[in-house]
Amino acid sequence: MGDNEERGGKEDQGNRGYGHKPFKRSRSHFTDRITADGRDGWPVESGRYRLVVSRACPWASRAVISRRLLGLEEALSMAVTDPIQDDRSWRFTLDPDGRDPVLGIRYLAEAYEKREPDAPGGVSVPAIVDVPSGKLVTNDYQQLTLDLATEWTALHREGAPDLYPEPLRDEIDEVMEGVYRDVNNGVYRAGFATHQEEYEKACAGVFRRLEMLAERLAGQRYLVGDTITEADIRLFTTLVRFDPVYHGHFKCNLWKLTENPVLWAYARDLFQTPGFGDTVDFDHIKRHYYQVHSGINPTGIVPLGPDLDGWTTPHHRERLGGRPFGDGTPPGPVPPGERVGPPGQPA
């Protein structure tokens, strides 16, 4: 649901249905694009739209990272939902009176219903809502960040990096396809598997791809080229959740991220790069997975571990060269209202 699992009617049993039905990643139903020329009826415009995210959700976290790296904080406001969904999905219970202060709604579902009552596919984040009308514009998690990088350029900060450089797009797309199929989505196929063979196939695929990525990253700092791209963002949002939730909760436990020297150093390198770790809320991540997925964790107990202090230790990846932001610069300080706590502590 929040992570685009396909879920909708009573037969799915809401949160209790996880792990009791075949897993299927639903396609985004609302695929309108916000573009510089407004060809879908949604032109890029500062202050017009609101990005709704959960800091727990890896798909939404892509958008949070991209927005920060590109310096779109003032142009595109952001709403952060409660990490604990109920069966109506994402709630604004972190805000005063349980309403988003800009949209004035209690549930993200209300923006979906304004756009299309009884729309299929459930209520997912990330989502962009048109503030004047209160209607959902898009929940296309695959395209959304690419458009932030390529269509919103007039509103990018000075020194913003090129996260989807045109000469490298074919290679970036190829790398991202494998990462999506086997890693981003693969951990869910393993975690929500309903029988042994299904689980083993998915789990083996996760680690096979991770080993391929480790081999690729052994000799280069970033996945494609010598700067951070969209491909790194998409891999990072799964890696940062790997030991806290996917290793135990989703049974992807052939080895921990911390046991793979290359991937662990790569993940720490990104985590310590402005725009990555300063958007991560481990408290939200752990509570969401362990408390929402009651079909596979019926007690709702959230584990104390793992120790997260290692995220800030030296990684030495700078020895491989590379320039994180290319010819650009790091983003500035995190806006006060968007700060998260240090690793291992609630915000």
Residues 287, 239: contact at Cβ < 8 Å?
Answer: no
The order of strands in the sheet holding 49-53 is 77-80, 49-53, 127-130, 135-138
Catalytic residues: 57, 188
CA of 279: how far to CAs of 54, 69, 162, 199, 272, in Å? 11, 11, 19, 31, 11
Helix (H) or strand (E) holding 128, with range, is strand 127-130
Residues 178, 209: contact at Cβ < 8 Å?
Answer: yes
Residue with tokens 């990072």: 236
Residues 21, 3: contact at Cβ < 8 Å?
Answer: no
Structure tokens given for 335: 């806006």
